[in-house]
Amino acid sequence: MSVQEQILDQIKQHKRIIIHRHKRPDPDAIGSQLGLAEMIKASFPDKQVLCAGKNFPGFKWLGMADEIKDDQYQGALVIVVDTANQPRVDDDRYTKGAALVKIDHHPNDDQFGDLMWVVPEASSTSELVFDFFKKFQSELTLSDEGARLLYAGIVGDTGRFMYPSTSSHTFEVAAQLTQYHFSASDVNQAEDEIDLPLARLSAYTYENLKILASGAAYLILSNEVLQPFGLGDESTSSIVPLPGRLKEVLSWAIFVQQKEGNYRIRLRSKGPEINELAKRYGGGGHPLASGAVVENDDQIKTFIHDLDELVRKSK
């Protein structure tokens, strides 16, 4: 029995299913979570399906997570989507259910769950959820809303189909999803749209980005810098792709200060693989898209040095 068949069997066995995703979500985290929930609801109307996690106003157009009581985890199947390692799971009650399933497309460095379906070659977890539907389409139903959510997740995690993880299969999945009744252009517009504070932060990014001779680049966004923009950490994700548009930049790090004073690193690359570097700083992710954390200015300097060396050696 394949792992997909075992996951479907678990879904059939449990009356309540609770789906988690990662902290500080992106469109794929929310799209795969809510899209999977919509698919299970449409396929098994008698089951209760709940989605866990913090809600963010900027993603309200995708949908909202549920308020879940502690006792609802008793006897429930818990599915964690789009989350590489356990510290990143939003809501630590994910271990409180009767069984745990992991569905993800990140490198499987942190193996957790009773069942794991991990495909690092996939463009997104939303793509995997659609593959799951297609494999069992004689038993499963995908609603228009479910298709909209999965399409949004794929668009988000492929950078509008620009990232190397975009495959011919990704385009096939996107084409099939757009046959459902929703506006793909509305989804594309929602993911591309920014407000005035973010536009100003984008201008600040290009004006203050430091580009080293190697092609490594970095930007430090302290709380003091962010305060005039009226933006928090969750709002800075929109500027992460911007340095990659510059021909001179090969890999880049954006340091975003947290309320606690440490810095979250959003790390991206157009060639040199940066996930091993991220692991050295308590993070991880994809070869070309990772994250990590540093505690202070000295660690920022060390990280920049290490990134510079990595890009130099890659040449």
- Report residue 224's pLDDT band, with 50, 70 and 90 as the boundaries: very high
- Report residue 58's pLDDT band, with 50, 70 and 90 as the boundaries: confident
pTM: 0.90
Q: How far is CA 56 from CA 37, 60, 128, in A?
A: 18, 7, 24
Per-residue pLDDT at 15: 98
209 half-sphere exposure, CB direction, 13 A CA radius: 23
Q: Exposed/middle/buried for 115, CB within 10 Å: 0-12, 13-18, 19+?
A: middle
- Report the C-alpha gap between 249 and 274 in whole angstroms: 14
Q: Alpha-carbon dihedral of residues 248, 251, 256, 261, nearest 10 degrees?
A: -120
Mean pLDDT to the nearest integer, 14-29: 96
Domain with CATH 3.10.310.30 in the chain: 196-314
Mean pLDDT to the nearest integer, 8-15: 98
Q: What is the DSSP string of 29-49?
A: HHHHHHHHHHHHHHH-TTSEE
The one-character DSSP state at 257 is E
Mean pLDDT to the nearest integer, 221-247: 88
**Correct CATH for 196-314 of 3.10.620.30, 3.10.310.30, 3.40.640.10, 3.40.50.300:** 3.10.310.30
Least confident of 16-25, 150-159, 235-244, 252-261: 235-244
The 10s digit of each residue's pLDDT in 80-128 is: 999 999 999 999 999 999 999 999 999 998 999 999 999 999 999 999 9
> What tokens were used for 158?
């492929």
Per-residue pLDDT at 241: 93
Average predicted confidence (pLDDT) for the chain: 95
Contact 71, 97 (CB under 8 A): no
Is residue 235 predicted with pLDDT exceeding 80? Answer: no
Per-residue pLDDT at 284: 86
Is residue 141 predicted with pLDDT exceeding 90? Answer: yes
Q: How far is CA 14 from CA 96, 99, 281, in A?
A: 14, 9, 39
Chain mean position to CA 197: 23
- Report residue 9's pLDDT band, with 50, 70 and 90 as the boundaries: very high
- Report residue 194's pLDDT band, with 50, 70 and 90 as the boundaries: confident
Q: How far is CA 101 from CA 52, 98, 130, in A?
A: 15, 10, 17
Domain with CATH 3.90.1640.10 in the chain: 3-192
Helix (H, G, I), strand (E, B) or coil at 281: coil
Contact 73, 93 (CB under 8 A): yes
The one-character DSSP state at 23 is S
Could you please state the CATH topology (level 3) that the domain comprising 3-192 is classified under: inorganic pyrophosphatase (n-terminal core) (3.90.1640)
- Higher pLDDT, residue 29 or 235: 29
**Cα-trace Rg, the chain:** 20
Per-residue pLDDT at 4: 98
Mean pLDDT to the nearest integer, 18-44: 97
Contact 23, 54 (CB under 8 A): yes
Per-residue pLDDT at 285: 86
Per-residue pLDDT at 21: 98
Q: Alpha-carbon dihedral of residues 145, 146, 148, 154, nearest 10 degrees?
A: 170
**Terminal CA-CA length for the chain:** 45
The 10s digit of each residue's pLDDT in 254-284 is: 999 998 999 999 999 999 999 999 999 988 8
